[in-house]
């Protein structure tokens, strides 16, 4: 999927700023990824929880910035804790991140 091609159900994704609602016990995560990952869904599985069916996820999109396009997935409303990140639906865990309430954490997807 090319950056200009976004799923029809979310055709405005990636075209503007993202509002992140963080606070007591809730954080957010920005996962920087290679351009080749555009369209892939990154899933955040909370370590120690067996709720894979309800894990938050977001597509990698090209987002315009002053310095050019940044390719990332923005996952919001994460309860404070440790998360394992993978590509949906059943990719291997690529990295672990710690999310803290009231903060936006940034992680870089490992190169293939």
Q: Tell me what pLDDT residue 94 has.
A: 93
Query: Using one digit for the tens of pLDDT, what is the confidence trace for 23-65?
Result: 999 999 999 999 999 999 999 999 988 766 678 999 999 998 8
Domain residue limits, the chain: 19-108
pTM, entire model: 0.82
Of the CATH numbers 2.60.40, 1.20.140, 3.40.50, 3.30.1490, which one belongs to the domain with range 19-108?
2.60.40
Query: Using one digit for the tens of pLDDT, what is the confidence trace for 61-107?
Result: 999 888 999 999 999 999 999 999 999 988 999 999 999 999 999 99
Beta-carbon contacts of 61 under 8 Å, excluding residues fewer than 6 positions away, are: 3, 6, 13, 14, 38, 71, 72, 73
pLDDT band, residue 3 (cuts 50/70/90): very low
Q: Tell me what pLDDT residue 57 has.
A: 92
pLDDT at 21 over 60: yes
Give the CA dihedral 38, 9, 93, 23, nearest 10 degrees.
100
Closest listed residue to residue 82, CA positions, set 98, 106, 101:
98
- What distance in Å separates the CA atoms of residue 71 and residue 74, rounded to the nearest whole number? 10
């Amino acid at each position: 999927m090319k950056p200009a091609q976004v799923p029809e159900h979310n055709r405005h994704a990636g075209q503007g700023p993202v509002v992140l609602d963080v606070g007591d016990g809730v954080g957010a995560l920005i996962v920087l990824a290679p351009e080749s990952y555009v369209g892939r869904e990154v899933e955040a599985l909370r370590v120690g929880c067996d709720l894979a069916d309800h894990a938050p996820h977001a597509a990698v999109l090209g987002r315009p910035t002053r310095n050019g396009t940044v390719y990332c997935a923005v996952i919001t409303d994460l309860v404070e804790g440790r998360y394992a990140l993978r590509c949906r639906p059943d990719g291997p865990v690529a990295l672990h991140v710690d999310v803290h309430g009231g903060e936006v954490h940034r992680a870089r997807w490992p190169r293939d």
